[in-house]
Chains A and B, each alone.
Chain A
């Protein structure tokens, strides 16, 4: 169990790079952009019991951008849901560690990989919490490109109708998606105003500043009558110079030299 969010975030980054390197897998960029958010959530914000992943009162966390699963798998290992060595199985034949978030892994609520599903499921889980008068909170992390999907906006309408203040949406706003810049493919701006116009509380932060992330999560908890969205401004590939803000690292897997350089940069 790591209680320092900065230490946890950095360990998530290192393990994530190692996993994609060993497996020859894609999607490292989006894992790096959300590492700080996961670092804060799993070190201090979320309520969970690693030895009882299905504990009834746990906070629910859904990673909707399932292609960034290496960061979540790393966080869960670092928080004792399973031994860290299990991460070596990532991408191997017969392993439970798929290259998209899998609910067969302890601590993972739902499988994802088809974008635009997580927020609707989160609304359902938050609504159940309200009806059953439980005090768990539901968090869902989506990509900015993922916000193209209309299903997210439908879910937001319903969350507002139900006043789901136990629901917190975090948008990993790293400005890149699958085939270009978010601002060019389907511009989301003004994002915060859009979200607010759907009846949500919206907080814009630097998604790599841990104090910012903590403050926003605290404000979300205090909010009454509506759901909160945190627009986290991030950099895709954050932490490794040659990956930062480069679409290529949505696809490419580091070679040996690139891997060594990445680890060196992350160790500083």
Chain B
């Protein structure tokens, strides 16, 4: 996903002279081409993430659309106050790009597991939180972000994620929930965000499960109309994400549905099952697949009944 992002960003930077890229002392074999093509719009801010976000806010205030690129928790949690106050409160065009969503950096351990940051980011007003499910979505969101004025968080996988979509997006809009499969009965719907989308898709195909499948590339804002339709159409919604249960996508959907139910917009409250990390850290070494399994990010056929 990081290559999908960077190669699209280079294309966008050719069109948009305001695009600026800051790295936090990483991106070896990833960002070189950008740095070479646009030396005046590239900066290595060193290993100093709080300063990096502040500087990005300053550049954005002077008219740049600034992309800040680092790993997992470093451009997010490490500098969350700069994000909240400098970037979001001033509504500046800073795009925070984190590679290594969830357990993508598996055996590197908890310092590199991005499993809480989505929840923290989605509580900050005016911040768009994007979590592409495959390289095609990553590319579309990169284009969208290049044309969007305002703060945004891009939660990317790492490298080698498989494609789920077969065609590219012409026009992705913020908040879009993307239908991938329609079940015949309309009873259950599986929603996934991030690169675990691929597993969701494989699982239902292999087991021949009759369910709808949606990719949710935006955790915030959620498209209320789409959520309403989903809740009205399905009485069993399963939400899969590589993140803590608390404050993740599943929680966000429950909140929305609950509000709609409380206000009378919907009359039935569907079952909503969250498949997410159950409030714990993992301190064992292992691949992303191993850690997902250990953390219980696994689908079962009976969930769809």
Contacts and interface: CB of A to CB of B under 8 A. Distances in A.
Interface of A: 23, 25, 66, 89-100, 102, 104, 111-116, 145-146, 148-150, 177-180, 185-186, 247, 250-251
Given A95-B285, A146-B47, A149-B48, A100 B23 contact: no
A99 B283 CA distance: 11
B160 to A, nearest CB: 14
A115 B73 CA distance: 11
Contacts of A90: 285
B113 to A, nearest CB: 10
27 contacts: A25-B107, A90-B285, A91-B285, A93-B284, A93-B286, A93-B287, A94-B284, A95-B285, A96-B284, A98-B110, A99-B107, A99-B109, A102-B283, A111-B109, A112-B111, A113-B109, A113-B111, A115-B47, A148-B25, A178-B28, A179-B25, A179-B26, A180-B25, A185-B25, A186-B46, A186-B48, A251-B28
Interface string B75-96: 0001000000000000000000
Contacts of A180: 25, 44
Nearest to B282: A98
Q: Is the interface of A mostly helix, strand, loop or mixed?
A: loop
Given A91-B107, A114-B111, A179 B28 contact: yes
A150 B50 contact: yes
Given A94-B284, A247-B28, A148 B48 contact: yes
Nearest to A115: B47
Interface of B: 23, 25-29, 44, 46-48, 50-51, 73-74, 78, 107-112, 283-287, 290
A92 B25 contact: no
B283 A149 contact: no
Contacts of B74: 114
Contacts of B25: 145, 148, 177-180, 185
Given A98-B283, A185-B25, A114 B107 contact: no
Contacts of A116: 47
B109 A178 contact: no
